[in-house]
Amino acid sequence: MNRHYNRNYSREQIASILTTIQDCVREGRFIISKNENRQENIDFINEYNLTSRRQKEILLKLKPEDFCHSLQNTKLRFEHEVLYVFCPQVMLYNFDGIEELVNIYTKFNLIDGHSGKRVVVISFHKRNKAIDYLFK
């Protein structure tokens, strides 16, 4: 376990954070990063033909049990931000039409803006490293 990972949360705290994230998703105040630094997200969405509607469904089905840890953003000028990592298991159909159970690594940045909170989904791809769940 990385020493920078924070797992000092109660189930109620994570449920509250998740409610905020999912409210933003429901209200369309979120984006999934698909810039040049996030090719893994783009490849994952394409591999499983995840429409915007399906992406939103996956995010809205997250549960506190899917929570792993939080960590401080290490990007210059963004060190004050806390990132939240969840890893749900979801049945998806790959490009060949074969159904498989996929561990999806999701990392969220909750941003307080002038017009309220919004969410940036920094990571949305197949899990590519070992994770530990806090509540499983």
Q: Which domains does the chain have, with CATH numbers?
A: 11-126 (3.30.2310.40)
Token code pair at residue 125: 């791809």
Question: Mind listing the pLDDT tens digit of every residue in the chain (136 residues)?
Answer: 566 789 999 999 999 999 999 999 999 999 999 988 899 999 999 999 999 999 999 999 999 999 999 998 877 777 778 999 999 999 999 888 999 999 999 999 999 888 889 999 999 999 999 999 999 8
- How many CA atoms, within 13 angstroms, populate the side-chain half-sphere of residue 66? 24
The whole-number pLDDT of residue 103 equals 97
The whole-number pLDDT of residue 2 equals 66
Alpha-carbon distance 22 to 67, whole Å?
A: 14
Alpha-carbon distance 108 to 111, whole Å?
A: 9
Task: With beta carbons less than 8 A apart as the criterion, state whether 31 and 52 touch.
Answer: no
Which of 128, 7, 127 minimizes the C-alpha distance to 64?
7
pTM: 0.93
The whole-number pLDDT of residue 117 equals 92
**Angle at which helices 11-26 and 52-60 cross, to 10°:** 160
Alpha-carbon distance 75 to 33, whole Å?
A: 15
